[in-house]
Each structure stands twice: as C-alpha cells, then as structure tokens.
Amino acid sequence: MKILLTGANGYIGKRLLPLLLNQGYHVFCCVRDPDRFAVDIYPQEQIEVLKIDFLDADSVKVIPDDIDVAYYLIHSLSASTKNFDELEKIAARNFSNQMQLTSVTQVIYLSGIANQEKLSRHLSSRKEVEEILQKGSWHLTTLRAGIVIGSGSASFEIMRDLVEKLPVMIAPRWLSTKSQPIAMQNVMEYMMGVLANEKTYDQSFDIGGPDVLTYKEMLLQYASARGLRRWVYSVPVMSPRLSSYWLYFITSTSYKLAVNLVNSMKIDVVCRPHQLGESLNISLISYKDAVKLAIKEIEDGRVTSSWIDALSGNALQPGIARLKAIPEDGCLSVRHIRRIDDPERVWEKVMRIGGSTGWYFATRLWAFRGFLDKMVGGVGLRRGRKNQYELQPGETLDFWRVVDVNQSTKRLLLYAEMKLPGDAWLEFEINGNELSQTAIYKPKGIMGILYWYMIYPFHDWIFRGMVRNIAK
C-alpha cells in the first residue's frame, strides 16, 4: 500500500512514520525542507521524500497519482496570530485539488475536538479544513483530539514548564476549563487503527483518554506524578493577552503559539461517545500514567519529536541549505583554537552542548542573554534540545538552530535565532588534535556593526572560556 504522509517532519508525523514503515507500507513523505528531514535513519526502499509547500499550488504537483491513503497533518498554529486560519484553508484546498488527480481512496485527518457552539479561531479553523476535505472524491476519516500528552507536545511541555518551575501558580480563569487529554500512544493506535478501515470511512471520531479534567487538575496531577507539592490559584482579571504573555515568559512556548493556545483553553474539549476504541481494542491510558510515560521518555533521551523544532522565523523558510554556506564577504568573526588529547571524547562534549548540559562557561550570562531575547520577543533560551545525546539538522538548540552536523568530519554548525541586527553562526570543528570554535556574524546596517563591536569583549571572553572547558 502506498501512503502519502503530509507533515512528515512535524510532531505527529515523526511519530507515525516508523509505525507505517514497520507495517511494510511504502510512504511518500511531504516536507518543505528535505535538509531538515533525517531520511537516512529509515529503510530507503520504503520511503520517498517529496519537497512540497502546500501553500504553493505548483509544488503539490509532484505527488504521485497512485496513492492509496493520505494522512493530512498540516497545521499552522504556531505560524501566525492573525492569519493562520487562512493559511490552513489555502493548504487544504491545494491538497484537495491535487489529490483529486490521484487514486486515493481514504484521507485521514487529525483535527481538534469542536463540540461547543462558540469555538476559538484555532478550533474553527480545524473544522473549516475538515469541511474542505469532505468535498473530495475519497472517504474522509477525521480523528478529533484535545490535549495530547507526550514528550515534546506543546501542551505537555507547557504544563511541564509550569509545574517544574513554579511552586505557586497564579493562573487565569481557564484553569477551570474541562478537557479530555489523550496519551500519545493512544493517538498512534487510533491513527493506525483507522488506516484502510472501511468501518471508519466518512465518519469523525472524538478521541480522548479516560479522564475528564480541568487544567488545574491536570497541573496538580502532573505534580503528584513527579512527587512535587504545588499550589494553584486562579484569578478572574487576567485577559487573554496577559495570559499569553504569562505563558510566553514562564514557559518555552513562542508568543504566537501561546496566543492561539490561550484562545482555545477557554473552550471545553470533551469527547462525544463512540465505540471506535473498543472495536480497535485500544486500552486507554490515564492522564497520570501518560504523564509518567512522557517523563520517562524525556529522562531516557527517547524524545522522537518535539514542537520546538517548528520554524520560528523567516530566515529558515527558504531551507537550511542556504545557511550551510557561510557568506565570505561582509562577515566579522572571532576564532579560538585549543589543543586536545582525546578528539572523540571532546566531540561527544560538543554534541551534548546546550539544553540541560549548558554551554560549559558563564552559564548565568547565557541565561541572561536568553532572558533579554525573550524581553524583545525572541525565542529565549528555554527551548532546550530534543535529545541530549544526538543532534539532527533542523533541530533547535536553545536559541540556535542546528544547520549542519557531520560526524565523520566532526563539524557542528549552528545558526542564531535570537533577535539580532544581523545573521550569526557558531561553528565547532575538530581537525586532528585541534578544536576550533568560530563565531561568525554578518551585520545588517550600522546598528549591526555597532552591536558587534559593543559585545565583542564579552563574546571573546565567553567563547574563549567555553572552548577551554570543552577541550579540558
């Protein structure tokens, strides 16, 4: 069976792909930037990568015409606070128009629970996309999920940030909103269970776990699962905008995502009953057990996908390939070189940089730089990294983006995503018994040049200390 997987580089897509391959299916993976997709880790005879931007009607023409089933996993929630719903409708129409030219018999769409009369823009957009997909000549199966509890999911990571960092929480009124969270494992069971299942054709199903909880109850149960004592209080005066800023500054979420999530948090998302779970023999995992499973994945370094890898700015939209070749003209740089005795061990330290490991020198200054970046609307330092031992191109690393990782030549190249009046790279290379670290900066205008020379003494001191400690 030939399957089209849209959003193959996204949070759900990365989880679903290995399951499809394990069943022996041939999968066509739709990604905007193939350089951000680690195709080498999958069986090459079962997978093909298609470079597609579903906002571009011409790019979808590469979709083969002999597709059997398609998964529609495209969402623009973190792309914009203003027109994400319009972007989602454009993508859905382009997908539908092209799929009409194929032999596809089933489209599986992962949507959001939308059972209230008054919906947020986020949930209204998901419903409008479903209506567009229903007009096709195929059989549509829609799975509507609320909060997904799994390592790396945006909702779970927000709750984790709040509970782990704040012993006492003063939160908005949406703490009393009811939700029916579902474990990531159960989501995958539903996604696989409806595949080519004629009993699910032309139907929609709300999928959730066994527990209906308020957000306050979810925060307190998370704390209980972690053995933490937490106190949560709600206040009636916090506006949606203040709520969004509250999440933005305390958690690792972006402001755009925080705004869209807060608007949805005011709506109850409780499932309508159905028998799909029973017919597929799915054993629903409780919220507390789902939290424990997600935490274990994080502690074991087995986070398959994370929302933090979503693009956060326009610089990466054309693809990371253009950032691998650092400009030769107009750049300023500082390089530090140290002799090393054990290149393999030093390379392991380089590959573990950032996240919980830190940056090996002036940790508080790195944290302060992240705080300043948050204050001006940047990504800050809280995104961390998905896996503490491995890095792949396109992944985030605190306020950097991994542009290139080469194990054979021992080169790591990072691109800065903090707010800067220019473009910046940080490169680590090991040649023989030498470790070199180079900070490269291409200023934009006079402010960019002034910025470089103002912070040059601090950069020189910090980077010198960092490379010294890595080489020890």
Per-domain residue ranges for the chain? 2-307, 311-471
Type of residue at 117: E
What the block records as the tokens of 368 is 């302060």
First to last CA, the chain: 53
User: What type of residue is 319?
Assistant: G
pLDDT at 245: 66
Contacts of 124-131 with CB under 8 Å at 24 or more apart are 124/85, 125/84, 125/85, 125/88, 125/89, 126/75, 126/88, 128/85, 128/88, 128/89, 129/72, 129/88, 129/89, 129/92, 130/204
Cβ–Cβ under 8 Å, residues 84 and 263: no
| Superfamily of domain 311-471 in the CATH hierarchy | START domain (3.30.530.20)
∠51-193-307 over CA atoms, to 5°? 45
Cβ atoms of 110 and 16 closer than 8 Å:
no
Task: Identify whether the C-beta of residue 419 lies closer than 8 Å to the C-beta of residue 379.
Answer: no
The pLDDT profile of the chain, 472 residues, written as one tens digit per residue, is 999 999 998 899 999 999 999 999 999 999 988 888 888 889 999 999 999 999 999 999 999 999 999 999 998 655 445 677 788 899 999 999 999 999 999 999 999 887 766 766 777 888 899 999 999 999 999 999 988 999 988 888 888 888 888 898 887 777 888 999 999 999 999 999 999 999 999 999 999 999 999 989 999 999 999 999 999 888 776 555 666 666 776 777 766 666 666 666 767 889 999 999 999 999 999 999 999 999 998 888 778 888 777 655 555 666 777 788 788 788 999 999 999 999 999 999 999 999 888 999 998 888 888 888 887 777 787 778 888 888 888 888 888 999 999 999 999 999 998 889 999 999 999 999 999 999 999 999 999 999 999 999 988 999 999 999 999 8
Coil, helix or strand at residue 413: strand
Per-residue confidence (pLDDT) for residue 228, from 0 to 100: 92
CATH number of the domain located at residue range(s) 2-307 in this protein: 3.40.50.720
The predicted pLDDT at position 341 comes to 92
- H or E element in which residue 70 lies: strand 69-72
For residue 316, the Cα-to-chain-centroid distance in whole angstroms is 15
